[in-house]
Structure 1
């Protein structure tokens, strides 16, 4: 087979969920050394060393254009020169007229369920674009892949597609996410980012579903109730002005210096900060999977996460579940785990076992099987 894979944003320096998933999936495919000829189409950007040509998998860099132009015009023309049997679009959308059989990874359909303008301009535009394009791409695709049984049920009902047209391929964690015993390496990272010995870790994405204001309020309530020596909170990828605004609105400006803002931490160094964290909190309102849950678990870090959408499916019984719509439940979980070493150790053990269930090798093998079934 000749397989084309769209990975438009894979070379951008600051990778987030979908780019990380696509990168790990392709790397796992390369390791499997398939007999198929696979070509990856990626928009040129700074991090063009994250993926190499290997075995029968080659990389084609294209010129950089705005998202819709690249996807709807440049990608189909480049794919046509390769003349593949199938095109796999990896990140929720695809060309309306691809000119080839298409398989689409539909991570989620949150943007179809509700539309608000509380995110950044980029996030708002992306949601409008997907809202217009995705239903038509889904209708034209020969196969849909999603990342949890929860999301599959949502997609089937919302887009009225046959159950047999959609399959679940779980995300997984990179092999880099594991307990790290190199104390020198951990200490160097901690010193470089001015981190305390013990802290609570939170990823401060400002997308509304990430629930950042509620998390900050819950942590401040924890500070009010924790007594002496409370844990500080490390919030990644959150702007100083955003934090100050949330603290002012909630009346907790006095606690600004209990927050540490290291900025963006690349995927290669995320295992270090997970290993250093005493507790990891992932209180999203809605997720199709929730990759950081199993990444933190694999690094032997106890996890607090939400009891909504896919998160219980992913976490199993290996995390402390909270109601993300009730910040007081986050506060209670922080108070409990911060003081209870026995519970933290129990979650660590359960988390390591749970995270081992999610393998990129399995995901890549399943995806290759879907490719072949679509052609045969």
Structure 2
């Protein structure tokens, strides 16, 4: 089989969830000893995180805007390559495609009613683009892949997709996330504290940053230790806005906010952290939960959407709309050593159910079923 895989953003420096999913699956494909050829179609970028191999070829395509790249340059490139199938990995795809199309539809959050507008023009434009394109391409797909049973059901019910057209394939996590000795030189790049609480968020309202900060303020009021909070991916001006909104500006001295944290440093930070906060309002999967668990770090997450499905029944599940529940979970971990050890052991066992190798094998089965 000659398989084209759209991975437009994987060479960009500040990668996020969908970029890493595509990158990790491609790396697994490179390990396979088969007769398939994989053509990875990307946009130019400074982070050359993937190299060609005997079965994998990188095809760089330049275009001034993402819509033109996807709707014009991508299908023309696919036609030129003469491949058997195109797999688009990041929620959208070209409206015209010369070969059978597989789409990874990570979520349809953008098809649901919004409580808040996005805080950046880029996010706002992406929201409208997905709403325009996705409903029009789904009927043209030979297979739709999503990342959890929760999201699979949401997509089928919301967009009236036939059950046989869509399948849930779980994500994995990178093997460099594991228990390891903490490299203090890496930790000191982001915080001067030896142990801290870790929150990985962004400006998307679903990440629940305001309530997380409110929960942390409640934790500080009751904790005898008062561990600091390390916040990834949020700029100081946005944090200031949230602190003023929640009337908790007094906690700012307990916060560290270095901005974007490189993926290569995350494993060290998970290992160094006391607990990982992931109280999102809505997730289709939640790879950071697996990464933290694999590093032996207890995870506090939400009882909503796909998070219970991924974290499992033995995890700490809270109501993300109630900051007091988040704070109480932190205090329980802090005050009860046996509970902390139980959560650490649970997470290390839970992550054994997920791997990129399993994800890759299911993708190959899908490709074969379409082409043969």
Q: Give the match for residue 32 of structure 1.
A: 32
Query: 1:244 and 2:240 equivalent?
Result: yes
Note if contact 1:11-1:45 (Cα within 8 Å) is conserved in structure 2. yes
User: For 1:356, what is the secondary structure of its paired residue?
Assistant: helix
Please tell me whether the aligned partners of residues 142 and 165 of structure 2 are also in contact (alpha carbons under 8 angstroms): yes
CA deviation map 1:72-126 (0-9, x unaligned): 0111111111011100000000000011110000000010012452332111111
Question: Conserved in 1, the CA contact under 8 Å of 2:86 and 2:101?
Answer: yes
- The partner residue of 1:356 within 334, 352, 365 is 352
Hey, what does 1:85 align to over in structure 2?
A: 84
* 2:190/2:256 contact within 8 Å kept: no
Cα distance, 1:64 vs. partner?
Answer: 4.1
Q: What whole-Å deviation, never above 9, does each CA across 1:170-224 have from its counterpart, x for those lacking one?
A: 001000000013x4xx111122323312110001211011001110111011112
Contact persistence 1:317–1:350 (CA under 8 A): no
Q: Does 1:254 align with 2:250?
A: yes
User: Which secondary structure does the structure 2 equivalent of 1:118 belong to?
Assistant: coil
2:210 is aligned to 213
Which residue matches 1:55? 54
The alpha carbon displacement at 1:262 in A equals 2.1
SS at match of 1:261: strand
Give the distance between the partners of 1:312 and 1:87, measured in 2 at CA. 32
Distance 1:318 1:65, change over 3 A: farther
Contact 1:45 1:64 in 2 (8 A): no
> SS of the residue aligned with 1:268?
helix
Question: Which deviates further from its counterpart, 59-68 or 147-156?
Answer: 59-68
Structure 1 runs (4+) greater than 4 angstroms displaced: none
How many aligned residue pairs are there? Answer: 371
- Is 2:303 aligned against 1:303? no
| TM norm structure 2 | 0.97
Contact 2:191 2:230 in 1 (8 A): no
Coordinate RMSD, CA, aligned: 1.1
1:92 and 1:105 in contact (8 A); partners too: yes
- What is the deviation of 1:337? 1.1
Structure 2 runs not aligned, ≥5 long: none
Provide Cα deviations, 1:150-189, integer angstroms capped at 9, x if missing partner: 00000111111111111111001000000013x4xx1111
Q: Which residue does 1:204 correspond to in 2?
A: 201
Matches of 2:11 and 2:184 in 1, distance apart? 29
